[in-house]
């Protein structure tokens, strides 16, 4: 009886939720120390908790300007929280276990399977090794390029730190920056080096490690998995459609002062930004409401499973679209790239979407009551928090303490995933010993 209680209490979803919560509390405690602020004044704990949650959940929403409020020590703490949050604390724990040659237990493999959103434990440790190698290699390459670019404007030491911070932040879809005064990447709206590097880092982080592994082994295997095909096709389509929509909607508005090269780069960058990146080269608050609402839709969809991004995930979105098309065509099965999807996959996609919608609607309604802000701006911040995106219309620093706490919980739920969050809260499973008779209701 005691073993059953312990096994239920420390189920993989609960371990993930508790682990992330403990890291957030540790980060909040460190960020509230006076020694990490630029002026020596300690940050209020509620603000430190919000910042730590945003970093660990790789979101990017901030209540204090990272580049001016924190000194180098505080910025290093945020960088460490981003790295742990992006890769996942179990991945980091596995890294230390591999370094010290400690055996990975069965329970740890189960937790890793849950953390990486895998259907099987087979090859999970090998996958973790690849995740670590890919991540560090991509971050190192991004750091080198950004350091070389920033070295033209500042001393080499500062350029190296800026390059490292922003490469890690971009790849992990964190959205933090050190440019100061909440400017994000607006000074580089027409800079091809910064734009290309940022978009590539975001794309690689948002595709997921399974897709990256598939692409690297393509020359040997000569085929891609169905998962990789769906992620690449959907991500490419959303990126292209997003850039065109933003270019059209903002051509005479936010893009008007820019030249043709700036218009194109800004449209591409803002199309990549809702994939959970959280940085921008255009002032989000100045965009048309139609553009802001379109960005909300992209943020809600998010990135790919097993990636550093959030949202309901592109595979969930594609599965639902496939189900709608199949129903309209009178088909009984959802087929993608000549593969039939199991019904449990469709039910899971529907469950994730409905839970996500419920969270977004509930949080938005509460914030509309407690915060004196326009509805669309509140909805934008809510979806940005839940999708761990970090794009903001600028109202986050002015939220009440209750609003900050609620958005912190929203970021937390979005990071560990709505389904995992629900599993972590539910009671122990009990096997049903009977089935109810089938009934019929009228739909539509």
DSSP codes, 117-152? T-S--TTHHHHHHHHHHHHHHHHHHHHHHHHHHHTT
- Tell me whether residue 2 is in a domain: no
Q: Which of 333, 330, 383 is nearest to 361 (CA)?
A: 383
- Tell me whether residue 402 is in a domain: yes
The DSSP call for residue 336 is E
Per-residue confidence at 15, pLDDT binned at 50, 70, 90?
low
Q: Domains in the chain: how many in total? A: 1
- Tell me whether residue 255 is in a domain: yes
Q: What is the mean pLDDT of the segment spanning 201-217?
A: 83
- Tell me whether residue 399 is in a domain: yes
Q: What is the mean pLDDT of the segment spanning 167-194?
A: 88
- Tell me whether residue 334 is in a domain: yes
The DSSP call for residue 41 is P
Tens-digit pLDDT profile for residues 373-427: 999 999 999 999 998 888 888 898 889 999 999 999 999 888 877 656 555 445 5
The reported pLDDT for the residue numbered 78 is 94
Tens-digit pLDDT profile for residues 260-297: 999 999 999 999 988 777 788 898 988 999 999 999 99
* CA-to-CA separations, 124 to 91, 101, 113, 317, 398, in angstroms, rounded: 11, 16, 7, 26, 43
- Tell me whether residue 305 is in a domain: yes
| Mean pLDDT of the chain, nearest integer | 83
- Tell me whether residue 258 is in a domain: yes
Q: What range defines the domain where residue 100 resides? A: 8-425
- Tell me whether residue 96 is in a domain: yes
- pTM here is 0.85
């Amino acid at each position: 009886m005691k073993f059953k209680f312990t096994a239920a209490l420390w189920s993989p979803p609960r371990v993930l939720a508790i682990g992330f919560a403990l890291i957030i509390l540790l980060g909040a405690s460190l960020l509230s120390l006076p020694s990490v602020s630029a002026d020596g004044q300690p940050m209020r704990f509620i603000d430190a908790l919000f910042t730590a949650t945003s970093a660990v959940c790789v979101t990017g929403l901030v209540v204090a300007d990272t580049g001016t409020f924190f000194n180098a020590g505080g910025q290093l703490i945020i960088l460490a929280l981003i790295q742990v949050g992006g890769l996942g604390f179990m991945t980091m724990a596995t890294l230390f276990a591999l370094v010290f040659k400690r055996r990975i237990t069965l329970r740890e493999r189960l937790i890793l399977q849950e953390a990486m959103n895998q259907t099987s434990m087979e090859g999970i440790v090998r996958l973790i090794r690849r995740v670590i190698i890919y991540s560090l290699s991509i971050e190192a390459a991004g750091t080198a390029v950004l350091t070389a670019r920033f070295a033209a404007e500042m001393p080499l030491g500062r350029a190296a730190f800026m390059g490292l911070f922003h490469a890690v932040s971009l790849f992990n879809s964190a959205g933090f920056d050190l440019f100061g005064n909440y400017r994000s990447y607006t000074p580089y709206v027409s800079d091809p080096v910064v734009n290309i590097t940022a978009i590539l880092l975001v794309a690689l982080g948002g595709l997921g490690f399974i897709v990256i592994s598939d692409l690297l082994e393509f020359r040997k295997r000569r085929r891609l998995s169905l998962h990789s095909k769906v992620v690449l096709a959907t991500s490419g389509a959303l990126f292209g459609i997003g850039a065109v929509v933003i270019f059209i909607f903002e051509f005479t508005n936010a893009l008007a002062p820019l030249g043709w090269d700036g218009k194109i780069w800004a449209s591409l960058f803002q199309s990549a930004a809702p994939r959970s990146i959280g940085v921008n080269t255009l002032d989000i608050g100045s965009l048309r409401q139609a553009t802001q609402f379109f960005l909300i839709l992209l943020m809600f969809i998010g990135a790919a499973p097993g990636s550093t991004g959030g949202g309901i995930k592109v595979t969930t979105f594609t599965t639902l679209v496939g189900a709608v098309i199949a129903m309209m065509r009178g088909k009984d099965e959802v087929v993608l790239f000549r593969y039939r999807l199991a019904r449990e996959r469709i039910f899971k996609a529907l469950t994730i979407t409905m839970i996500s919608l419920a969270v977004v609607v509930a949080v938005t309604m509460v914030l509309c009551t407690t915060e004196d802000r326009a509805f669309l701006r509140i909805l934008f911040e809510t979806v940005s928090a839940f999708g761990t995106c970090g794009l903001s219309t600028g109202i986050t620093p002015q939220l009440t303490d209750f609003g900050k706490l609620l958005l912190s919980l929203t970021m937390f739920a979005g990071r560990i995933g709505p389904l995992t969050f629900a599993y972590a809260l539910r009671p122990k499973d009990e096997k049903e010993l009977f089935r109810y008779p089938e009934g019929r209701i009228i739909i539509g």
